[in-house]
Structure 1
Amino acid sequence: MGSDFAPVARALNARGFDLAMRGEAIRPHLRAGDATILWQGVDDPAERARALEGGVHDVVGPWMHEAETVARIVRLVQVRQPQLALGDLLIHLMDRRVTRAGRPVSLLAREYALLLYLARRPGEAVSRVELLRAVWRLDFDPGTNSVEVHMLRLRAKLDRGFPRPMLLTVKGQGYMLDAGA
Structure 2
Amino acid sequence: MLKLSLIVLAYCALTVFAAPPHSGDHLTEVSSDVPSLDQEHFHSLDDKPCTWDDSLGEAACGTFTVTFGDGGIWGNKPYTTVRLPGFQTNFMLNCSNHGDAWKAVENTPGLPYIISIHGGNACITTDFWWEAFDNAWIKYANQWVDVPSDERCKSVYWNGKGKRCVIAIKPEEKVVGATVRGEGP
Shorter-chain TM-score tier: under 0.3
Q: TM-score, normalised by structure 2?
A: 0.23
Higher fraction of helix: 1
Q: Which has the higher Rg, Structure 1 or Structure 2? A: 1
Higher fraction of strand: 2
Q: TM-score, normalised by structure 1?
A: 0.23
Structure scoring higher RCO (CA < 8 A, sep ≥ 6) equals: 2
